[in-house]
Amino acid sequence: LVDASYDRIREVDDQVKAFLTLDEEHARSQAKQLDAAPDADARLFAIPAGIKDNIVTKGLRTTCGSQFLKNFDDPLYNATVVEKLNAEKTVTVGKLNMDEFAMGSSTENSSYASTRNPWNTDHVPGGSSGGSAASVAAGEVLFSLGSDTGGSIRQPASFCGVVGMKPTYGRVSRSGLVAFASSLDQIGPITHSVGDNARVLEVISGHDKMDSTSANVDVPSYTDKLTGDVKGMKIAVPKEYLSEGVAPEVKEAVMNALKVYELLGAEWEEVSLPHSKYAVSAYYLLASSEASANLARFDGVRYGVRSDKANNMMDMFTHSRSEGFGDEVKRRIMLGTFALSSGYYDAYYKKAQKVRTLIKNDFDQILNDYDVVIGPTAPTPAFKVGEKVDDPLTMYANDILTIPVNLAGVPGISVPCGFSEKGLPIGLQIIGNAFDEGTVYRAAHAYE
Ligand code: GLN
């Protein structure tokens, strides 16, 4: 499997550009060792995996897609998720491209390369986990890990025709995930099938004393939930998720999926998430505010590159940050710093927090009466490389259907539900109650 993975990378990664760093020598020797001592108890024995480059890997370069960390070759420890995968004997093939510090929706904000959509390389793979989704879609690895703050697992999964799960906030440890917006970030698996996804989430979930926000909630067997039975399941379809902004071909694919659910004996009804129209505005204030604080650690002292232009300490901070960060990251730091500054805090940050609560209440109410919420993952199929890169606001609006789920903290999955006229994949989003990934998987699996 590991040989096949590197063969495939050699064959296609020049065009797809999913990987930033490969760990070939180590991975091959690890594969040999595993070969010599097969372990039937290991739940992911010898499965080649790719890891998003904001998840730290001991001794393996971790750049977050940023020039600031281009020399961060030797992280001292593994993220908890990586330890958990290692314990089940996966093989880490390499690190995957992403928008710088996970800020973006197309992977064009990577300071290294723009990953391409394997279905059509003129198109973006989505983002920020574009490398994670593209590597699975292109058959370079059997699964990957991504991170999702406002849609960064689900939207690229949708664009690349693969399965991507953003678990409940707190389900998976964030220890070793380079923080973007700590109250929203979650790590999750990207796979070909729902079954594979459930298998990987089972392994990486669970309470971790290294992450005080990880929840002490039992992890059930998700694979046991894949019964194929959704008879009597109650599905809510928010009308805001099928409004004008959503492309007709995306709506059609979602309506077809709902027909499949009807045939399987589930029932669906239209509902409303009245505050979802404020989600993008609230998210960009909150995520940028948290980012402005989290990214303060990149000062040229402890991590990454230090500018050699500086004559004194303040100069060193300024030059290192000016040279190290790209435009989008600077834009977010400025926005976040402004929103948190005294005099503006109540008007922006605090207001956005209140809106967040309203959005969470919308979901809580609906998920009281229904098992899952279903809609599209993204308003359109993958757009063209370069199409939105000069227009941050249009790029931000692309996240309108995924962001509410992060604000509410609930789990959401994207599963393929058809193709556009141009032959690009379309994704169906299934959202569930907090810590009820099992029902989300059951719904996704029955449809798949
Ligand atoms: N596209 C969104 C942003 O740029 C979400 C990113 C993410 O989920 N990491 O912030």
Distance CA 447, CA 424 (A): 19
Mutate to test the pocket of ligand 1, among 97, 149, 153 (most ligand atoms within 8 A of CB): 149
| Residue 80 alpha carbon to ligand 1 centre in Å | 22
Look up residue 89 and give its amino acid: K
- Give the per-residue pLDDT at 393: 84
Is residue 20 within 8 A of residue 51, CB to CB? The reply is no
- Spatial neighbors of 255 by CB under 8 A, at least 6 apart, are none
Question: Is this structure's pTM higher than 0.80?
Answer: yes
Give, rounded to a whole angstrom, the gap between the first and last alpha carbons of the chain: 25
Tens of each residue's pLDDT in the chain, 448 residues: 999 999 999 999 999 999 999 999 999 999 999 999 999 999 999 999 999 999 999 999 999 999 999 999 999 999 999 999 999 999 999 999 999 999 999 999 999 999 999 999 999 999 999 999 999 999 999 999 999 999 999 999 999 999 999 999 999 999 999 999 999 999 999 999 999 999 999 999 999 999 999 999 999 999 999 999 999 999 999 999 999 889 999 999 999 999 999 999 999 999 999 999 999 999 999 999 999 999 999 999 988 999 999 899 999 999 999 999 999 999 999 999 999 998 999 999 999 999 999 999 999 999 999 999 999 999 999 999 999 998 888 888 889 999 999 999 999 999 999 999 999 999 999 999 999 999 999 999 999 9
- Spatial neighbors of 305 by CB under 8 A, at least 6 apart, are 67, 68, 69, 70, 71, 320, 323, 324
* Residue nearest atom 4 in ligand 1 by C-alpha distance: 104
Distance CA 300, CA 322 (A): 11
* Residue nearest atom 5 in ligand 1 by C-alpha distance: 150
* Closest among 212, 200, 376, 183 to 287, alpha carbons compared: 183
| Percent of the chain residues topping a pLDDT of 90 | 96
Look up residue 241 and give its amino acid: Y
Which ranges of 215-306 does DSSP label H, i.e. alpha helix? 248-263, 279-294
Q: Strand pairing of 163-166 and 234-238?
A: unpaired
What ipTM was estimated for this complex? 0.97
Token digits for 325? 């960060």
Residues designated as active site? 52, 128, 152
Q: Which atom of ligand 1 is nearest to the CA of 152?
A: 8
- Give the per-residue pLDDT at 339: 95
- Spatial neighbors of 302 by CB under 8 A, at least 6 apart, are none
| Residue 39 alpha carbon to ligand 1 centre in Å | 38
Phi and psi, residue 177, nearest 5°? -95, 120
* Closest among 48, 439, 15, 381 to 227, alpha carbons compared: 439
| Residue 315 alpha carbon to ligand 1 centre in Å | 30
97 exposure class (CB count in 10 Å sphere: 0-12, 13-18, 19+): buried
Distance CA 10, CA 13 (A): 6
